[in-house]
Amino acid sequence: MDHFACLAPMTLFARCLSTPPVPCLLPHLTLVLPFPVPHHVSVTSSSALKLPTFDACVLPGVTTVLLLIRRHHPEMAPKRIGIVGYGHLGKYLAEKVKESPDLELAFVWNRTTSLVENDLEDKYICRDLENCSMFSPDLIVEVAHPAISKKFGPMFLEVADYLIGSPTALASQEVETSLRDAAAMQGLYIPAGAFWGTEDIMKMADEGTLKDLKVTMIKHPSCFKLQGELYSKNEQICEETAVTLYEGSVRTLCPLAPNNVNTMAAAAMAAHNLGFDGVQGCLIADPQLREWHIVEIEVTGPEIAGRKFSVKTTRQNPANLRAVTGTATYASFLSSVKRAGGKGPGVHFC
Ligand SMILES: NC(=O)c1ccc[n+]([C@@H]2O[C@H](COP(=O)([O-])OP(=O)(O)OC[C@H]3O[C@@H](n4cnc5c(N)ncnc54)[C@H](O)[C@@H]3O)[C@@H](O)[C@H]2O)c1
Ligand SMILES: *[C@@H]1O[C@H](CO)[C@@H](O)[C@H](O)[C@H]1NC(C)=O
Ligand SMILES: *[C@@H]1O[C@H](CO)[C@@H](O)[C@H](O)[C@H]1NC(C)=O
């Protein structure tokens, strides 16, 4: 028997019952619950409940009404989160998910589990991603490495909704196609990260009025985690002047800076008429910028009588030296996790 959750208006209880529900409608009864009520739950009259959407059951001889709902009811039951990767972000998320009444930890996977075992109860530890469906996740969140999506992304989308924390993986056309195809079953969710104005840019892309999009990221050299030629270019910076490390397509940039340009990958997915080849990315290392990560977004629209539509935003995120991820990013990622899921098949932003 699957678990059930008991509901009060708009609020979720702990899972508590597996009694087979006897369907009936009983408006205007006071809801009395025969078990301790968690502190974050308020109990009010059942008349406030939308009864027809639930299975209701009356215990014989008692004026007690229990409202039962299947665990996977998207609006009401806690969303079960599977976390893939247990680095900085994974650890933060696992903690926050456990604290949050509307989220529930389904599993945590890490490439090596030795240290995870000190932190987490055994019931949460997934040792083999192939078997992650055994943990019944509603949403799988990748916070490990772009390589995970290539290998497991389509499988994740068979099991649950999938939030791709490292969307730079999608710069590979093969990975993008395989995930878009697999998202015919469940939803693929892309965290906006430091990207601003996703909805507006998507609307322009839908209409075909988005002509250009450029995302510029400016950080202290120690805040970049780069590969190949960009790595050596960044290492050689010794003067106090800012250096442009890269300017060109986001497609080429993603494999060179996989941990830094998730925001640009999100931009390339939102600006789908331009895509990874059309959206421009620019990385600037500025030795004077010791306390901020800056992201500039320049949107260009159609030209009317010599005048071009344009929007430019500048996002200033407080960040410490050597921090690849700005402090506001953790909270923003958590809110993406909360917003993700339940929107059906296709690609969604959160
Ligand atoms: N979209 C966003 O807004 C956003 C924000 C922050 C981080 N991220 C991304 O999330 C991921 C994790 O970030 P973090 O700050 O926690 O990094 P981290 O380095 O602290 O943790 C990464 C974890 O994944 C593991 N890992 C690394 N390579 C792996 C591989 N090939 N296969 C399996 N596991 C691997 C590491 O051992 C570690 O446990 C990174 O890809 C990062 O780019 C995205
Ligand atoms: C997670 O796995 C990585 C190897 O990918 C390892 O270095 C790290 O210590 C592990 N983290 C924990 C908390 O076990
Ligand atoms: C995962 O499933 C396979 C077969 O489906 C099984 O052989 C393996 O033992 C399982 N692993 C775990 C950790 O349960």
Whole-model pTM over 0.75: yes
Q: How confident is the model at residue 43 (pLDDT cuts 50, 70, 90)?
A: very low
pLDDT averaged over the chain? 83
- Cα 109 to ligand 3 centroid, rounded to whole Å: 14
β pairing state of 79-84 and 65-70? unpaired
What local confidence, expressed as pLDDT, does residue 30 receive?
A: 35
Residue from 130, 134, 152 to probe ligand 3 pocket by mutation (most atoms less than 8 Å from CB): 130
Question: In percent, how much of the chain has pLDDT > 90?
Answer: 71
What local confidence, expressed as pLDDT, does residue 75 receive?
A: 58
**Ligand 3 atom at minimum distance from 131 CA:** 1
- Cα 97 to ligand 1 centroid, rounded to whole Å: 18
What local confidence, expressed as pLDDT, does residue 76 receive?
A: 66
Q: Is the CB of 115 under 6 A from ligand 1?
A: no
Q: What is the pLDDT of residues 190-243, one digit of tens each?
A: 999 889 999 999 999 999 999 999 999 999 999 999 999 999 999 999 999 999
Question: In percent, how much of the chain has pLDDT > 70?
Answer: 78
- Cα 135 to ligand 3 centroid, rounded to whole Å: 13
Structural domains of the chain, with CATH = 4-70 (no CATH), 79-190+332-349 (3.40.50.720), 198-319 (3.30.360.10)
Mean pLDDT calculated for residue range 130-141:
96
Inter-CA distances, 332 with 111, 201, 325, 350, Å: 25, 19, 11, 10
Residue 74's contacts (CB-CB under 8 Å, 6 or more residues apart) are: 138, 341, 342
CB 51, CB 25: distance < 8 Å: yes
What local confidence, expressed as pLDDT, does residue 77 receive?
A: 82
